[in-house]
Homo-oligomer: A and B are copies of this chain.
Amino acid sequence: MINLDALATPTLLLDEKKARKHIAFMAGKACQQGIRFRPHFKTHQSVAIGEWFRQEGVNQITCSSLQMAEYFAHAGWSDILVAFPLNLREISRVNHLASTIHLELLVESTTAVSFLQEHLAGQADAWVKIDTGAGRTGIPAEETKTINEVCCAVLRSCNLHLRGLLTHAGHTYRARSQEQAVATYQASITLMNKARNNQLKEGLTGLEISVGDTPGCTLAEDLGIVDEIRPGNFIFFDATQAAIGSCTAGDIAVAVACPVVAVHPDQEKVVVYGGAVHLSSEHYPEGELKVFGLVTMLNPNGWGTPILGAYVSSLSQEHGILHIPRKVIRTIQPGDLLAILPAHSCITVSSLKKYLTLAGETILAMP
């Protein structure tokens, strides 16, 4: 039970039961299909929650920064992939990690590989980052020659062990239906297998494939010919994932309890204490609208289903502006609490850094 009376400022609530169910689902799915499960811990960023994964047999993880890898290494995780292009300026951190755990790095240029060959003190595994259409980072999947150059540079390096090709099909987040998300995921897998075959023709054998976006890994019944999946967001999901169809709103495992500070029924507008510094400014399109989160009622046992037609319409530094339909708004008063299902749970966690479970326990995330 949550002591609602004690909540005075924006508070990140966590439904442990849902989160544990999502972990079990994804671990089970990977296991059944004989695929290595290396979940991304950038979503929950918490040593305590990491243990829930350990209880599902997970012992290999993904982090999005060296700082995060240090945090989890310190808590006993000894096999960590840092899924971010190598930052040359953090080589001392890389060296420290490589001397204490099994470390896996991403490279996408011969510059990075040469640098590691010269400056990496210990040993590390290296994955070549491939762009299958997300357009964020990585070598485009069809650039066989560049991929080969980087792979060969890794092979020649005496302190790097080449693991294979890695991608993040982040463009599944642009999907607005399950079918679209699955099609994007499958197209990404096809491109990765083509890229691997092209390298095979160049004489490179044994390259693994690592993928990992939540919409694809959740929705594709068959995960395809891959060796490893690295989804992260699925542990909590969020309003964006519900809009894609990766989950229902009822599956979302985190919500931010926000005090109501102003109610304007004529404008169908409620103002809450809970702004960009708490929820982040992430949002997703819903027709003409920008949706920064969904809105639900709160009770001591958790939150309900989203209020029909209600959404977070804008955020400033500390203010959240909610559109609440006329019928419902009459029941809301200043001093009430509302729960916001965030547009992007990962960044919300990163802002609030602390959870309150529905059992009333506090769980800390990375400081």
A-side interface residues toward B, CB under 8 Å?
7-9, 42, 64-65, 67, 84-90, 93, 108-109, 111-112, 115, 135-138, 170, 259, 261-263, 267, 269, 271, 273, 276-277, 280-282, 314, 316-319, 321, 333-335, 337, 346-347, 350-351
Q: Is the CB of B273 within 8 A of A115?
A: no
List of B residues within 8 angstroms of A318 by Cβ: 42, 64-65, 84
The count of identical subunits is 2
Interchain CB contact (< 8 A) of A280 among B115, B281, B319, B335: B281
Distance of A85 Cα from B333 Cα, bound (Å):
13
Q: Is the CB of A334 within 8 A of B273?
A: no
List of B residues within 8 angstroms of A7 by Cβ: 89
Q: Is the CB of B319 within 8 A of A84?
A: yes
Distance of A277 Cα from B281 Cα, bound (Å):
10
Q: A262-B109, A319-B136 are in contact. Are A9 and B90 (CB under 8 A)?
A: yes
Q: Is the CB of A9 within 8 A of B67?
A: yes
Q: A9-B67, A137-B262 are in contact. Are A88 and B347 (CB under 8 A)?
A: no
Q: A316-B136, A319-B136 are in contact. Are A86 and B261 (CB under 8 A)?
A: yes
Q: How far is the CB of A291 from chain B (nearest CB, A)?
A: 14
Q: Is the CB of A115 within 8 A of B67?
A: no
List of B residues within 8 angstroms of A273 by Cβ: 65, 84, 87
Q: Is the CB of A85 within 8 A of B276?
A: no
Q: Which secondary structure dominates where chain A touches chain B?
A: mixed
Q: Is the CB of B277 within 8 A of A85?
A: no
Q: How far is the CB of A254 from chain B (nearest CB, A)?
A: 16
List of B residues within 8 angstroms of A259 by Cβ: 87-90
Q: Is the CB of B317 within 8 A of A261?
A: no
List of B residues within 8 angstroms of A350 by Cβ: 277, 317
Distance of A334 Cα from B113 Cα, bound (Å):
11
List of B residues within 8 angstroms of A321 by Cβ: 135-137
List of B residues within 8 angstroms of A112 by Cβ: 334
Q: Is the CB of A317 within 8 A of B89?
A: no
Q: A87-B259, A276-B347, A351-B351 are in contact. List 13 more A-B contacts (CB 8 A).
A: A9-B67, A9-B90, A85-B262, A85-B334, A86-B261, A89-B259, A111-B333, A111-B334, A115-B335, A136-B316, A277-B350, A281-B347, A317-B350
List of B residues within 8 angstroms of A276 by Cβ: 280, 282, 347
Q: Is the CB of B8 within 8 A of A108?
A: no
Please name the residue on chain B nearest to A316 by beta carbon: B136
Q: How far is the CB of A162 from chain B (nearest CB, A)?
A: 18
Distance of A276 Cα from B138 Cα, bound (Å):
19
Please name the residue on chain B nearest to A66 by beta carbon: B9
Distance of A263 Cα from B111 Cα, bound (Å):
10
List of B residues within 8 angstroms of A334 by Cβ: 85-86, 88, 109, 111-112, 115
Distance of A343 Cα from B5 Cα, bound (Å):
37
List of B residues within 8 angstroms of A316 by Cβ: 136, 170
Please name the residue on chain B nearest to A170 by beta carbon: B316
What are the 7 closest A-B residue pairs judged by CB atoms, nearest first?
Answer: A88-B335, A85-B261, A8-B89, A281-B281, A137-B271, A85-B262, A89-B259
List of B residues within 8 angstroms of A317 by Cβ: 42, 64, 346-347, 350
List of B residues within 8 angstroms of A90 by Cβ: 8-9, 259
List of B residues within 8 angstroms of A64 by Cβ: 317-318
